[in-house]
Chains A and B, each alone.
Chain A
């Protein structure tokens, strides 16, 4: 791969995304104060001591943001990984085996998709104990329906190609066909989709936290920080806008990377002509 051929927009995306990832991984090292540590008065303005000011309980907002990045990105990444593993394996299986397995899986997925995801998640989370594992499972499994649809569609296209038929004529089992013949050729659209789904996860998690069913205080996460500080907006205090803006920045930078990957490799013949 030639570095000079990466467009400027993709560079911006790559740099910002890796910066977010770096902050999330090393939160404990970078954050100037503890996650729940009360260090000053309510909603103190930005200063040399508190770069982003303090929040509604007098905690350092920058530290909350940094710990929030860790929580948010970790849960979103784990849920995305779960949704991709389940969704793509089931989607490929449905496409390759076909018949009643395909019908059963597809209709079940249709059923799940017919219920608005947020409402469905709210109902489930209200019943189940609120912890990180439940959150990841609920978010991951609900979102895997989208991944299932995409991977089934891609796999159906690949499944009718002669090289897959050749493998079947050779007597290869479903496992080989799915993982050796179809998966490598379906990777490009799936990788691009991965970026988009990750961002939807961040938004989904933030929405849940904002509604009080996501990450529970005192643990910090971006949606939660918006919720805690939303009253401040009336008094002209920007504490709620900072996490909101950060969510937007992350969404855009990940999308820039995803767009570039999607552009580079879209078809089965291994990238655009030439």
Chain B
């Protein structure tokens, strides 16, 4: 291998991967997961694989280790790593290669670390098993890597257990684990997707820095084009197991050739004109303090006050643990606050669910993040949407059917869907049915708890457009809980920023999103990846300057 420094590292040719599907009605049959995909990767380069769920990006990433997850088989093509076809070798050869030449960084570091072992032992394990380094050397290398990745106390952090470090730190430790045996290639599978936006930026910067310094090549898998634009040299767009477009990062971002790529680049370009707050609010939360485990418990909400005008959207933004979902539980009555009041449509709402009237319940509906667990898997769409009609309005027979058809029409789904079970719907369709279920009650307020977070960007876009459209028709107000600022920009009339149970900033959208900012809002806003090459460096640099200034 004379050309070890410049040459071709990975060459995947006409890869085809299949799995066997077992439909409940009918014989098992093979389905194609990856269809005729070819890619090349030079040493030290980063290729971004992007696409929505089911596009086959993780499957392709894992194929570079000769691995098929969950019964997926490689049925055609070649995977040439370091000049030899790894599919031809047996499992013994693959074992030699995995963890030595190719390493893998999983989406959920918390699930990938063994909670019973110290970080250090797990980080150096691959290097020891493959005999790349002695225990002492490996430990030294790990400490250097911890330092490079910006982990606090690089000398001592290895002695901790996985539960003793934060999610972002664990993800960096996992990157160190992948880098420790000095592999030629690392497969990053959505390494920052599960992290908060303020943490994501640090991890992203650490990963990029580590890639640059060690000169390792990488396949970077994500569904977020703005993220991949920061780290990769080239981007490959995938859809339904096929290549849509391959090109340099700048070309994909600025001059996408295919319609699908164009749609991905221009996603979240919804224009929404902010409405002025009405004199009489529909919902008003006054000085609410709430805790789990009663008065003695840890306060999750501290003196929260908010108002929402009829027919408008209030976005509640914050990272995980900021108390935004708890706020929804207080408003719906699932968690009675121990201080403060909630007023709705001019009357005070009883603190606990059991004391509220049926009309209170009807006018305040909720849509959940995970649509598939928000619907009873044993009920058909007809029963799911029909139940509120029966329950609140006593509708039966033809009248109910008519309203059902109307609702299905409003969510842009046909009547043919009425007899399907949730398992027979796609992610976006499930969320639409949940919206219809909420609308069926003719509510004045719908609480949307991260309703688009679990969806692919294009599908989420459709859901947001639908919600905005329905707001115009039905004049319903939304309390929109999200961690995604792009969504907020798209739909909000007013915004509340929450941090550690407190509202740190509250006002109309234009007020909240224009300077001067408080520290936390500034951090939050500057952490949202923008679809611009070099954004990451700028953001990190401005952050360093600020902290130097302080």
Contacts and interface: CB of A to CB of B under 8 A. Distances in A.
Interface string B372-398: 111111110000000110010000000
Interface in B304-344: 332-334
A161 interface: yes
A271 B20 CA distance: 16
Nearest to A163: B376
B334 A274 contact: no
Interface stretch (A103-111, A165-173, A199-207): A165-173
A236 interface: no
Contacts, number: 60
B25 interface: yes
A184 B376 CA distance: 9
A218 interface: no
Most chain B CB neighbours (cut-off 10 Å) among A1, A166, A170, A180? A166
Contacts of B297: none
A267 to B, nearest CB: 10
Contact of A162 (B22, B25, B374): B374
Contacts of B332: 169
Contacts of B437: 166
B377 A170 contact: no
A56 to B, nearest CB: 53
B370 interface: yes
A269 B368 CA distance: 17
Given A2-B27, A161-B373, A171-B358, A166 B368 contact: yes
Interface in A247-274: 268-272, 274
B334 A185 contact: no
A181 B361 contact: no
B199 to A, nearest CB: 26
B22 A166 contact: no
B423 interface: yes
Interface residues of B, number: 35
B387 A170 contact: yes
B378 A185 contact: yes
B24 interface: yes
Nearest to A162: B374
A163 B21 contact: no
B256 to A, nearest CB: 34
A266 B332 CA distance: 33
Contacts of B361: 169-171
B86 to A, nearest CB: 27
Nearest to A168: B353
Contacts of A172: 391
Nearest to B388: A170
A169 B353 contact: yes
Given A169-B334, A171-B358, A171-B361, A270 B377 contact: yes
Contacts of B366: 166, 169
B124 to A, nearest CB: 35
B444 to A, nearest CB: 15
Contacts of A169: 332-334, 353, 361, 365-366
B377 A269 contact: yes
A251 to B, nearest CB: 30
A54 B26 CA distance: 52
B376 A170 contact: no
A185 B376 contact: yes
B21 A170 contact: no
B377 A165 contact: no
Contacts of A274: 20-23
Nearest to B25: A2
Contact of B370 (A162, A180, A270, A272): A162
Highest count of chain A CB atoms <10 Å: which of B23, B24, B25, B26: B24
B378 A184 contact: yes
Nearest to A183: B378
Contacts of A180: 376
B26 A2 contact: yes
Interface in A4-35: none
B24 A171 contact: no
A270 B425 CA distance: 14
Nearest to A164: B376
Interface in B418-467: 421, 423, 437, 441
A162 B353 CA distance: 16
Most A CB atoms within 10 A — which of B20, B377, B391?
B377
Contacts of A271: 24
B440 to A, nearest CB: 10
A97 B272 CA distance: 44
Interface of A: 1-2, 161-163, 165-166, 168-172, 180-181, 184-185, 268-272, 274
Interface of B: 20-27, 332-334, 353, 356, 358, 361-362, 365-366, 368, 370, 372-379, 387-388, 391, 421, 423, 437, 441
18 contacts: A1-B25, A161-B373, A162-B374, A163-B374, A163-B375, A165-B334, A166-B366, A166-B368, A168-B334, A169-B366, A170-B391, A171-B356, A180-B376, A184-B378, A185-B377, A270-B421, A270-B423, A272-B22
Given A162-B368, A163-B375, A185-B376, 11 more contacts: A161-B373, A162-B370, A166-B437, A169-B332, A169-B334, A169-B361, A170-B391, A181-B376, A185-B377, A269-B423, A274-B22
Closest 4 CB pairs of A and B: A184-B378, A162-B374, A274-B22, A171-B361
